[in-house]
Each structure stands twice: as C-alpha cells, then as structure tokens.
Chain A
C-alpha cells in the first residue's frame, strides 16, 4: 500500500515539476494522472494493490473539497457584488453544459453507428 501511494506521489511530483518547468496551463496532478495512466498502459495490467490504494483515495474524494470550499465560502461577499448575474449565469451554464454534452455523446455513440 505504502509503495503504491509513493508511486502516486512520485507521479504527482513529476507532474508538478514538468508543469512548472514548461509553464503549461494544466495542473500538476492532472499531468501526474496522465503519467500514471501511461505507466499502466506500458505495464499492461493493473497491480491489485494499486487498484486498492486508488479506490481508497477516490471513495472519499468528495471530502477533500471541503477545506477549499470552506475557503471560498468565506469570500462569499465577492459574489454579493453581482449576485444576480453570477448566480443566474452559473445555474444556466452548468445545466446547459451537462445536457448538451450528454446528448451529444449519446448521439455520437448511438447504437448501430460504427465509430
């Protein structure tokens, strides 16, 4: 378990280093995810322990947003200055994004259509 957690941290660290060295605008952990994924493809199978470690981390992923969320809620007065346009825009945009993306994906992936 510790070995696999170390592997995850190393991927994140390499991701952070590459992102900062090349100043690309994707987050280090996202690049770390790509790196770990490529390693898995190269290896051709998923070690059971790595699967368990990842599942453990991901099961509680919602919890991990609480500290950051608390931070932004403390800055809620920023929203207050333009509450109406911002909240309406967020609700409409989030809803439309979800609906359009899902319908598009279903349409492109519809049965009987060879991709």
Chain B
C-alpha cells in the first residue's frame, strides 16, 4: 500500500472510530431591544447543571426556566437541568457582548462535562467512548483532516 494511501486510510479509520459525542449544549445569542436573548439548546443531557458567566456590562433580566431551578450570583447564573431541552434567558447589555458569554455544563448521569457551545464534552465520562450516538464534532474534524490530507496527496 502506498504510504499516502495508508495515511488516508488511517484518517478514515479515525473518522469511523471517533467516539461519539454524547452530551452537548449550543448557545445562540440574539440582540433584542436593549438586551440580548440567549437560547441554550441541550442535547442528551437529561439531568445536569449549567453555569453561565455573563459578560461585563450585562445584567441578568429573566429566564423561561423555573425559578427554583435557576440561581443568579453576580455575573454567574446556574441552571439545574431536569429534562429540559432548551433554556431561554435574557440579559440587558450591548449587542457586542454576544461573543463574550462563557459557560460550562455537566451531565450528572454520565459524568461528562463540557463547555457551552464547544460541541463535544471535554471530559467524556465513564463509558462515553462506547456510548451509542451520532458522530459529532470529532467526526467533522476528522473529515476536515481527510480533506486536508487529500489536498496534500494531490500536491495542492
């Protein structure tokens, strides 16, 4: 087998063998009036917790999340997740703060944790490597690597 073809094959194997991302949270920030609407979309996190850090200059307004599952302290907001798939909250602040939100999450059933908006868990919990699921960011990254290797192989 040609060495370059072997590299391509290795990358393909990586694509197929890449552990599936189990849990993830996506954040969408939409400017609205004099504030920002934030929507967190949760995937495969039935019971867990989220801590969002609001950018400087932003102040908490409200959320559609139950009050007894939400706790605000200064610039940080904690959400207890029990079955919710989306959480919407609103802050007052400038539109250019949209990129400055930060957050972390953890799945209390699998032990995974991750960064809000990062796509896949940074700490795949026990058993995550074999958990069934759809290929996530890791798979996409591998496909990009495959494309890069193809370009390299073709000398472009």
Partners in one complex: no
